[in-house]
Amino acid sequence: MGPPGVGKGTQSQRLSGEYGIPIVATGDMFRKIRQDVSPLAREVQEYMDRGEYVPDDLTIEMALSRLNEPDTKKGFILDGFPRTVRQAEALDDALAQDDRHIDHVVLLTAPNEMVLERLAGRWVCSTCGRVYNESSNPPRLPGVCDVCGGKLVQRADETPEVQRHRLEVYEHQTAPLITYYQGTKRLEVLDATKSVDEVTNELRALLNGVVKERA
Ligand code: ADP
Ligand code: AMP
């Protein structure tokens, strides 16, 4: 969890490779859907371009059906889901029915000015979705993805006004989720103002603790 631009996608991508588990990123799933030509695609596009959340029913159905796919059975990293208390409750219920549960919820924190600055410099691979930053996390060759050689682009939902609105939406709709997870004692708070490598190291330490506990 954490505000847009704090580094959720960046850290998920690093850990997914290390732990050999998939990332379920609802933002990426919606970005695929919006490319279709259909009433659903248009609806999703309108919410995203306004910086609003896509309605819970649609989001929950999409995320839970992805979590039924076999590659998630040995574990998964959720990025950007759940974002509302209703989504979190639906997730807990669905996983419990399947005898699964969320081990850890990590909240990445950084001040608003910092996340806005990070978003302004964000570039994403148009082929594989790898995230870069023109100053803090640049690709080896400008405009080219290190991983797959794809072209780097900036996201369509990225104007400064929309970014600021997305932060407000986060504070209104997602911040209450912090209390939900604190109540279930699953929340870890990490200071994400540190470098990408430092945040990865802290996440790794936290997750290795979990893996040892379960062994
Ligand atoms: P989110 O998924 O939370 O929206 P991203 O992972 O897309 O955030 O990161 C937003 C931008 O910030 C990207 O350009 C990324 O390269 C950069 N970034 C991520 N983590 C850090 C960090 N710890 N320090 C500096 N820049 C970062
Ligand atoms: P992200 O890439 O995670 O920043 O998400 C981009 C956009 O997709 C958000 O601004 C929302 O419009 C939509 N979205 C992603 N995840 C969710 C979610 N869990 N609930 C509602 N909308 C979402």
Query: How much is the pLDDT for 213?
Result: 54
Torsional sign, CA 28, 29, 34, 37: positive
Q: Is residue 181 part of a domain?
A: yes
- Residue 5, number of CB atoms within 10 A of its CB: 26
What is the per-residue pLDDT across 16-71, written as a single tens digit (0 to 9) for each?
A: 999 999 999 999 999 999 999 999 999 999 999 999 999 999 999 999 999 999 99
Query: How much is the pLDDT for 212?
Result: 55
**Residue 115 structural domain:** 8-204
| Residue 177, Ramachandran bin (φ over 0: left; ψ between -120 and 50: alpha; else beta) | alpha
pLDDT at 211 over 60: no
**Average pLDDT over the chain, rounded to whole?**
93
Distance CA 148, CA 49 (A): 28
Catalytic hit among 100, 155, 186, 204: 155
- Ligand 1 binding pocket mutation candidate from 1, 10, 112, 128 (most atoms within 8 A of CB): 10
CATH value at residue 100: 3.40.50.300
Mean pLDDT of the 91-114 span: 95
Q: Name the DSSP class of 190.
A: E
The SS3 assignment for 87 reads: helix
Q: Is residue 139 part of a domain?
A: yes
- Ligand 1 binding pocket mutation candidate from 23, 29, 31, 118 (most atoms within 8 A of CB): 118
- Residue 133, number of CB atoms within 10 A of its CB: 19
Q: Is residue 214 part of a domain?
A: no
